[in-house]
Structure 1
């Protein structure tokens, strides 16, 4: 499957069901109404999956053009594009993880690996991780830590700091996050941060629900 989910695999019909169960932040509320009607309009214009949707809504001029063709409001299409693009979150830079030493960062950079997207294919199995360990001169324990940070970084909204928080809280893989109870995840992370003061931002219960929903959309192909 890869670091990102294949957007061609999510049909417009399947995305209707996803939207109907999604937790929306205020700026996404426009997507809550007329889900079937609006997405059927996309299908009527030969948009069959989320990959084709992003191609059609590539930039502002494309959004304006499609709005005129379809009758769907520009602001609706702009929000829809933004939400779908969330399936491809920006990878975290290895050097931004405070739990990874500068020496390890430099060793990885010498092999051409600077972020979690580049690292992903190098940590999928024990055998591949062992090869990276030998090639880069990094211990197996550190490679496993990098593996879990990379896995967690695939989840939308999980930056380098929150990947570390999830790691330290015991929700150290994307699959564990996907299977978590959002209230328990919230309480665990709240307690951890109260004890260790890892981050200053407010992260609420709804944030936990959205992170879990994002994790549930991923494939879990890393072998632990």
Structure 2
């Protein structure tokens, strides 16, 4: 059997030409074996009428097997020639013929260098896509953080509004001015604490 894979022919026929030839070969072999059994049966039936002393069923079986072996050799020789002819002519697609689904190859022909350039461009685009996807994920994560911070700020503003309302109820004028005065007082207190610490250190 041929070792050529004939993949293009298999694409066209739906089966490999070698498989087709193998099935023909097996079918011929089976029919040949069946014919030999029929011939042997016929000879044995005729012998029952003649009953010669030298022709026994075992001798006829050996003769039939020898004849079958000879026929197989002749058939194999003829089949090899037939297979070679069929695989090269009837079951082969010429190199210059394209199947309908491959017609696009005629319109778009690329050299190996052009194909490599296209492959490099595809790789570059894939890298850019991955980088943009990563940047998008980072922006989404940052947006989520900003939403959390905004929620905290809104909570703080609501707290300040609550303080201001409480301050009004308690008779405090402007909460911002109160915080400003408190801040100045804190700074003065810190200055006094530092002066006391310095004098304490000198006394030591």
Q: TM-score range by the shorter chain?
A: under 0.3
Greater helix percent: which structure? Answer: 2
Find the structure with the greater CA-based Rg: 2
Which TM-score applies when normalising by structure 2? 0.20
